[in-house]
């Protein structure tokens, strides 16, 4: 069975906050009897921490995407974004911008590559053969798009539940004006009422206990990250991405037209679109979540086969 390890990464220089900065994470290490397939870095969305990818509730099974991927032989690293969870939270949330989060994420990936090479990150294959793949959900998908577009840090990227065009239900596509009220949570931080988003996040088949557990885990967000809602904010970075891209959405999600999203990644020669049946925006609680993460694992294998011995 995969093992969890709490870890952190120093990203002081990359974050540029003028104070020491760290990214908190959990590493899910596959069973050593399995061949190591590579490293998958999971980046959560707005209001979520890395727990989004590792939800465990008594009486409910298979809600940990991270454990499932690790069970397939991937070293999984789920992070808390800068300004959230157990990562560094500056006194003023306005300091936490998308570009700083993207730079911090790219630094995390650089350090993971270094750890693979040095043997600090245990693997059963030669480090030079192992791909490193970034997978982000919602805000995390915006951050991974910026990190890849600006730093070319991954061998492939998964962009889940985020639109390069605009976010349906969150902003006016013409003016960019935010459509949902935010609650003040201290200097430069805010939050929404999680229950107000249930219809968009969850299908009718999701157990109430799962919904309530995810909502209870939501955290305040830095104001500086609201720029993820600006229409077209990630489009320029998306256009610079050359590695394989997986775009994935629930049937009821944030893109005005999922089939239109592929055009933003026109420099990549391998763009895959996946729409998750019976899912809202919160893919990890959807009825077909296990199939979803199996598909993602298989996609990574398919697009990174040049790495294998």
- Percent of the residues in the chain that have a pLDDT greater than 70, as a whole number: 96
Strand order in the sheet with 271-276: 3-10, 22-29, 74-79, 38-43, 132-137, 156-160, 245-250, 271-276
- Percent of the residues in the chain that have a pLDDT greater than 90, as a whole number: 83
pLDDT-derived band at 176 (thresholds 50, 70, 90) equals: low
Does residue 92 contact residue 19 with C-beta atoms inside 8 Å?
A: no
CATH 3.40.50.1820 fits 3-304, yes or no: yes
* DSSP category for residue 3: E
Neighbours of 265 (CB within 10 A): 27
Does residue 73 contact residue 37 with C-beta atoms inside 8 Å?
A: yes
Q: For position 307, what pLDDT does the model report?
A: 53
pLDDT-derived band at 309 (thresholds 50, 70, 90) equals: very low
- Encode pLDDT of 5-37 as tens digits: 999 999 999 999 999 999 999 999 999 998 999
- Helices within the chain (DSSP H only): 12-15, 65-71, 98-118, 139-151, 198-201, 208-216, 235-238, 289-303
Residue 136 CA from chain centroid, whole number: 2
- Encode pLDDT of 248-299 as tens digits: 999 999 999 999 999 999 999 999 999 999 999 999 999 999 999 999 999 9
Look at residue 224 and tell me whether its pLDDT is greater than 90: yes
- Encode pLDDT of 46-69 as tens digits: 999 999 999 999 999 999 999 999
Q: What is the mean pLDDT of residues 220-247?
A: 95
Going from N- to C-terminal start, the domains of the chain cover: 3-304
- Encode pLDDT of 87-132 as tens digits: 999 999 999 999 999 999 999 999 999 999 999 998 888 777 899 9
């Amino acid at each position: 069975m995969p093992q969890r390890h709490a870890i952190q990464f120093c990203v002081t220089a990359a974050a540029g906050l003028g104070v020491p900065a760290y990214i908190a994470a959990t590493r899910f290490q596959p069973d050593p009897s399995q061949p190591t397939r590579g490293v998958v870095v999971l980046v959560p969305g707005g209001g979520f921490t890395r727990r989004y990818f590792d939800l465990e509730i008594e009486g409910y099974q298979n809600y940990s995407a991270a454990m499932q991927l690790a069970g397939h032989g991937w070293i999984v690293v789920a992070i808390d974004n800068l300004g959230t969870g157990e990562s560094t939270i500056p006194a003023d949330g306005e300091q936490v911008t998308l570009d700083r989060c993207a730079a911090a994420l790219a630094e995390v990936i650089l350090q993971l590559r270094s750890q693979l090479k040095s043997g600090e990150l245990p693997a059963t294959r030669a480090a030079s053969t192992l791909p490193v793949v970034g997978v982000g959900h919602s805000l995390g998908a915006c951050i991974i798009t910026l990190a890849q577009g600006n730093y070319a840090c991954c061998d492939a990227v998964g962009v889940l539940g985020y639109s390069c065009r605009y976010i349906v239900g969150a902003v006016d596509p013409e003016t960019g004006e935010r459509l949902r009220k935010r609650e003040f949570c201290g200097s430069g931080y805010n939050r929404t009422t999680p229950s107000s988003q249930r219809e968009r996040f969850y299908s009718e088949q999701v157990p109430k206990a799962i919904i309530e557990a995810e909502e209870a885990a939501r955290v305040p967000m830095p104001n500086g990250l609201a720029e993820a809602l600006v229409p077209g904010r990630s489009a320029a970075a998306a256009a610079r991405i050359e590695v394989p891209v997986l775009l994935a959405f629930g049937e009821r999600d944030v893109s005005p037209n999922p089939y239109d999203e592929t055009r933003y990644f026109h420099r990549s020669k391998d763009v895959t679109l996946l729409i998750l049946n019976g899912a809202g925006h919160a893919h990890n609680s959807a009825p077909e979540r296990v199939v979803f993460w199996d598909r993602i694992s298989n996609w990574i294998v398919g697009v990174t086969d040049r790495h294998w011995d």
